[in-house]
């Protein structure tokens, strides 16, 4: 079954993308406010969804908002900040069960949209700003969340590597910003910033479900009727052409049992480029699957890691290799990884590795069509990357990738940073 993405514009310029489908038991919506990733704005962008989901004019606190969601059969509303490439996007997703499984008669769409419209378009305002109590409380929560990155050693090592590798690039900004940036934000300033980006920046609104387009447009125009007058802003794509002068090696210590090794590489290929599909295949052969070189060599053959894989930052053109290892094995692991990178360059790839990778990539692209939120993400990536593929088009491109195309990608892939989080000297304290 072919996925349909139907694009429309609401009177106030919000782009509505409707995905009609009968296969899900839900009504799913996603609203994305596009903004650039910038160090000085990061804390504000992160704070916006957190403050907005505390309550609106009509549902002025979390208790009342949650009770309304419960009345809508436990609808789930989730506000978050996304960082992808050099975009920083306050995001709101909303999902309720579909009426037809509840003996209700088609009223839920209107009520769902009403709540979401209230949260993003009609916030709780006092003295010309967001409610002070919510702003200070959510600042505090986000600062705690920044500190809590420490709790997940793998994620911590990944973020440390990215921030060291891209320290002079927008991408080096952590998605929740820096702790010190929160000091200078006040509720009036934050609200006027929100008014500004809400008016000028692109907004994509997705609706997925067994619904009629006429009704979707009508309800959306009513629930999102706020005015957005002003010049629409266009946002730049990520800058990816940073050269590597020499490889940086960085080690840091923590009281941990296992060392984390993260390799940051630049691929100089991003989502919109013609060789993006070749990069997908390259990354798949190298480390995205259990059949990939990294898993087979580091884990299955050498038994040196439980966890080892590579992944792409598709909009920024980065590839990140991660492994959880014994610190004493670090040289051996790094040698094996570098050998695999060399093999990719010299075209030392078996037919089977190539075929399996293509099949694996196609399987995962098709599987995405079975989840409403993944259907949304696929299109949103196109909106961010400046090139909207249809799933079939991307699949056809992947099928056409040959060794030569992979070799060309491999030529460009350059190691930039090796980061190791190692156990404190003298072993762990436990």
Partner 1 sequence: MSASFNLIENRELHETLYHYRFFPGLDLYVLPRPDYQKKYAVFSARFGSIDNRFRVEPDPQVTELPDGIAHFLEHKLFEDERGNVFDRFATLGASPNAYTSFTQTSYLFSCTANFEQSLEHLLDFVQEPYFTEETVRKEQGIIGQEIKMYEDHPHWQVFFNLLAGLYRKHPVRNDIAGTTESIARVTPDLLYRCYSTFYHPSNMALFIIGDLDPGQVGSRVEANLEKRGYTAMGEIVRLFPDEPEDINRERSIKELVVSEPIVFVGFKDNRAKYFNGKDLMRREILMELLLDILFGSSEPFYNDLYREDLIDENFGAEYTAEVNYGYTMVGGETRDPDQLYEKIMEGIKKIKAAGITREQFERHRRKILGGYIRRFNSLEFIANNFLAYRFREADLFELPAILQQVKKEEAMELIEENLDYKRHAVSMVVPPEDS
Residues 254-293 that bind partner 1 (CB under 8 A): 254-258, 289-291
Q: Which residues between 375 and 414 bind partner 1 (CB under 8 A)?
A: none
Alpha helices in 266-311 (DSSP H): 276-283, 293-294
Within 46-65, the residues that bind partner 1 by CB under 8 A are 61-63
Which member of 245, 352, 404, 426 binds partner 1 (CB under 8 A)?
A: 352
- The CA–CA distances, whole Å, from 354 to 32, 69, 411 equal 36, 48, 17
Using the minimum distance from each CB to partner 1, give the nearer residue, 238 or 421. Answer: 421
Going by C-alpha positions, the residue among 394, 387, 392 that lies closest to residue 4 is 392
Minimum Å gap between C-beta 275 and partner 1 is 23
Residue 312 has φ and ψ, to the nearest 5°, of -105, 145
Instruction: For residue 243, give the DSSP letter.
Output: P
- In the complex, least distance from residue 297 CB atom to partner 1, rounded to whole angstroms: 12
Among 11, 74, 106, 230, binds partner 1 (CB under 8 A): 74
| Residue 127 sits in the site that holds partner 1 (CB under 8 A) | no
Q: Which of 116, 31, 30 is nearest to 72 (CA)?
A: 116
Q: Please check whether residue 359 is in contact with residue 13, taking contact to mean a CB–CB distance below 8 angstroms.
A: no
- Write down the least CB distance from residue 361 to partner 1, Å: 9
Binding to partner 1 (CB under 8 A) within 128-167 occurs at: 137, 140-141, 144-145, 147-151, 153
Closest distance of CB 408 from partner 1, Å = 24
When the beta carbons of 74 and 232 are compared against partner 1, the nearer one is 74
- Per rule CB under 8 A, count of chain residues that contact partner 1: 73
Using the rule CB under 8 A, which residue among 24, 32, 92, 130 binds partner 1?
Answer: 24
Among residues 270, 260, 381, 368, the alpha carbon closest in space to that of 319 is found at 270
C-alpha–C-alpha distance, residues 275 and 281, integer Å: 10
Neighbours of 351 (CB within 10 A): 8
Which residue among 47, 305, 375, 401 contacts partner 1 (CB under 8 A)?
A: 305
Among 57, 71, 132, 403, binds partner 1 (CB under 8 A): 71
Interactions with partner 1, residue window 98-117 (CB under 8 A): 98, 101-102
Task: Select 63 or 247, whichever has its Cβ closest to partner 1.
Answer: 63
Query: Is there binding between residue 331 and partner 1 (CB under 8 A)?
Result: no
Distance (Å, rounded) from C-alpha 166 to C-alpha 151?
23
360 binds partner 1 (CB under 8 A): yes
Q: How far is the CB of 31 from partner 1 (least distance, A)?
A: 19
Please state, in angstroms and rounded to a whole number, the distance separating the CA atoms of residues 173 and 159.
9
Residue 83, helix vs strand vs coil: strand
Restricting to residues 361-380, name those near partner 1 by CB under 8 A: 362-364, 366-367, 369-372
Whether residue 186 contacts residue 138, with contact meaning beta carbons closer than 8 Å, is answered with no
Q: CB of 91: closest distance to partner 1 in angstroms? A: 15
Radius of gyration of the chain (CA): 23
Is there a contact between 27 and 223 (Cβ–Cβ < 8 Å)?
Answer: no
Q: Retrieve residue 154's tokens.
A: 């793998």
Joined together, the tokens standing for residue 122 give: 């009609």
- Decide whether 248 or 326 has the Cβ nearer to partner 1: 326
Exactly one of 4, 6, 9, 22 binds partner 1 (CB under 8 A); which one?
22
């Amino acid at each position: 079954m072919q996925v349909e993405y139907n694009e429309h514009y609401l009177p106030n310029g919000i782009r509505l993308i409707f995905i009609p489908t009968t296969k899900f038991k839900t009504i799913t919506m996603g609203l994305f406010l596009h903004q650039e990733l910038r160090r000085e704005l990061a804390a504000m962008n992160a704070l916006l969804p957190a403050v907005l989901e505390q309550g609106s004019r009509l549902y002025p606190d979390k208790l009342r908002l949650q009770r309304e969601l419960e009345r809508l059969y436990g609808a789930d509303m989730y506000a978050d900040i996304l960082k992808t490439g050099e975009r920083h996007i306050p995001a709101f997703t909303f999902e309720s069960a579909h009426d037809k499984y509840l003996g209700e008669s088609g009223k839920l769409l209107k009520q769902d949209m009403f709540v979401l419209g209230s949260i993003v378009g009609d916030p709780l305002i006092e003295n010309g700003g967001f409610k002070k109590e919510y702003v200070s409380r959510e600042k505090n929560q986000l600062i705690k969340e920044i500190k809590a990155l420490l709790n997940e050693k793998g994620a911590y090592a990944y973020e440390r590597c990215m921030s060291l590798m891209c320290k002079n690039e927008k991408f080096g900004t952590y998605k929740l910003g820096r702790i010190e940036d929160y000091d200078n934000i006040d509720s009036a300033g934050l609200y006027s910033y929100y008014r500004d980006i809400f008016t000028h920046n692109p907004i994509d609104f997705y609706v997925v479900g067994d619904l009629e387009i006429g009704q979707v447009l009508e309800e959306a125009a009513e629930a999102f009727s706020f005015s957005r007058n002003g010049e629409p802003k266009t946002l730049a794509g990520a800058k990816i052409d940073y050269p590597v002068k020499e490889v940086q090696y960085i080690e840091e210590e923590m009281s941990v049992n296992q060392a984390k090794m993260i390799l940051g590489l630049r691929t100089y290929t991003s989502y919109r480029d013609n060789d993006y599909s070749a990069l997908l295949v390259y990354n798949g052969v190298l480390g995205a699957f259990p059949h990939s070189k990294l898993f087979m060599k580091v884990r299955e053959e050498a038994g040196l890691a439980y966890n080892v894989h590579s992944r792409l930052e598709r909009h920024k053109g980065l590839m990140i290799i991660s492994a959880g290892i014994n610190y004493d094995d670090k040289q051996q692991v790094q040698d094996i990884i570098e050998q695999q990178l060399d093999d990719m360059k010299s075209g030392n790839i078996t037919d089977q590795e190539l075929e399996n990778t293509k099949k694996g990539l196609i399987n995962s692209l098709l599987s995405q069509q079975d989840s409403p939120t993944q259907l949304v993400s696929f299109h949103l990536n196109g909106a961010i990357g400046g090139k909207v593929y249809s799933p079939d088009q991307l699949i056809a491109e992947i099928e056409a990738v040959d060794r030569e195309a992979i070799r060309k990608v491999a030529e460009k892939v350059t190691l930039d940073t090796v980061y190791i989080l190692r156990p404190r000297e003298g072993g762990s304290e436990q």
